Amino acid sequence: MGKFLRPVGERGGRIVVSGIFGFPKQSPDTSATVKTSAHTGKEPFGTDPAATERAIAAVIFLGNPGPDYEYTRHNAGRLLAKSFPGDYRNKFKGLFASVPLTLNGDTKTPFFLIPETYMNRSGESASALLSFYKIPLARCLVVHDEIELPLGTAALKWSGGLGGHNGLRSLKTCLGTADFWRLRIGVGRPPHDNIADWVLSPFSLGEQAVLQDTLAVCKDILIKAVFGQAQEGKFASCSIP
């Protein structure tokens, strides 16, 4: 059974995330213009001196708040956030924290944001953070579920279309562009035509184990991206069914 970090309480207006648990059985002015980057997306992380300027400084984890949505496919991004313990507080219309990450003895502290606006208004939360800290979009990573990738796979990608994803659509509306990094977590296409019901449905018991392995891969990708060492491309976990 997949296990994830759980919130254990509040401290001075902050939500402290710690420990693990299993799946259940079955703000600033958001109207400010966000500065974009001239990055074309064709250069992978870590291949030239400018890579430091592309190292991820802010990570946005998309999903819906509340227990009814917590373990649904649409919340794959939020589930990855639970892999990173942090002292989160309510800010920028979401849960916000500076989370120290370590790689090869070096430490960086990116901003993590989990919007609490519901998926179709995620851009309001993200734009508030990026505007306040003046973070260029070339240094922003958006983590989200992706029906065009099978369960057990993930992909790191610069820019692209919206694919009918309401969270990405909201980001493009609020940021004025879809040019930002995406960490896409595969949840697969439904066996029927109702995509809305599919992404709002929970993972089955068998899928949970696959997702847990995939999130471990995504955690590694995210950390490398923060240090400017990730590569664009598709990735697979070892437990693809």
Clarify whether 74 is annotated catalytic. yes
* Marked catalytic residue, from 39, 74, 144, 165: 74
User: For residue 191, what are the CA distances in angstroms to 75, 197, 199, 227?
Assistant: 19, 11, 12, 38
Helices (H), 11-164: 51-54, 76-81, 122-133
DSSP state, residue 185: E
Greatest CA separation for the chain: 49
Residues comprising the chain, all counted? 241
Distance between CA atoms of residues 64 and 122, nearest Å: 9
Residues carrying an active site annotation: 74
